[in-house]
Amino acid sequence: MRASPDDHLTIGEIIRRTGVPASALHFYERKGLIFSERGSGNQRIFSRHMIRRISLIIVAKRLNIPLSHVAEVFTTLPTDRAPTHKDWQRVSRIWKRQLEERRRAIETLEQELTGCIGCGCLSLKACLLLNPDDALEGRGPGPVRLQEPNVALPDGPSTRQAT
């Protein structure tokens, strides 16, 4: 185990401390989420405070926040030192709002679905579930074109990753 000065960590040490595999760290670096200097043999040398960024990424993953958004908020973070407590509060409040939005979207869907269970019509003209934006006002009679809008609601964790 090669010893590094306390604020210069090899990728191996980062892996041991964070549990994030090298492939993912490489990937994050390519995406600009983290960065490193290089040592004599071209090895990555990470600043100690990079661990904080990686922690943020881990949290974002748990919250199902896409890395593109993480990259966005990372542009508002200091690059030369660890994010402060204030930084963390700012970011986490943004993420909390996103969770709230997602929860509300799900609640809305739950209500619609509950209403539709009894009905069961799945009418292409009238069903709320099939016509999210109730955009069928003022379109003449006849079949209605569906799913135009670009409502993208990020979903919760459950349905994937059957490890």
Please give the residue ranges that form the binding site for DNA (CB under 7 A): 1-2, 10-13, 15, 21-24, 26-28, 36, 40-44, 57, 61, 66-68, 160, 162-163
* Count of CB atoms situated within 10 Å of the CB of 119: 12
Q: Which two tokens stand for residue 38?
A: 């290089």
Site for a copy of itself in 45-64 (CB under 8 A): 51-52, 55-56, 58-59, 61-64
Do residues 139 and 133 touch, judged by C-beta distance below 8 A? no
Size of the site for a copy of itself (CB under 8 A): 66
What 30-33 contacts at long range (C-beta under 8 Å, 24+ apart), as own/partner pairs, is 31/67, 31/71, 32/71, 32/74, 33/57, 33/67, 33/70, 33/71, 33/74
Using CB distances below 5 to 8 A depending on partner kind, what does residue 89 bind out of DNA, a copy of itself, none? Answer: a copy of itself
Using CB distances below 5 to 8 A depending on partner kind, what does residue 126 bind out of a copy of itself, DNA, none? Answer: none
Among 79, 122, 135, 139, which residue interacts with a copy of itself (rule: CB under 8 A)?
122
Using CB distances below 5 to 8 A depending on partner kind, what does residue 115 bind out of a copy of itself, DNA, none? Answer: none
Minimum Å distance from CB 64 to DNA? Answer: 8
Alpha carbon distance 148, 116 (integer Å): 21
Residues that bind a copy of itself (CB under 8 A): 15-21, 51-52, 55-56, 58-59, 61-66, 69, 85, 88-89, 92-93, 95-96, 98-103, 105-107, 109-110, 113-114, 116-117, 120, 122, 124, 127, 129-130, 132, 143-149, 153, 155-163
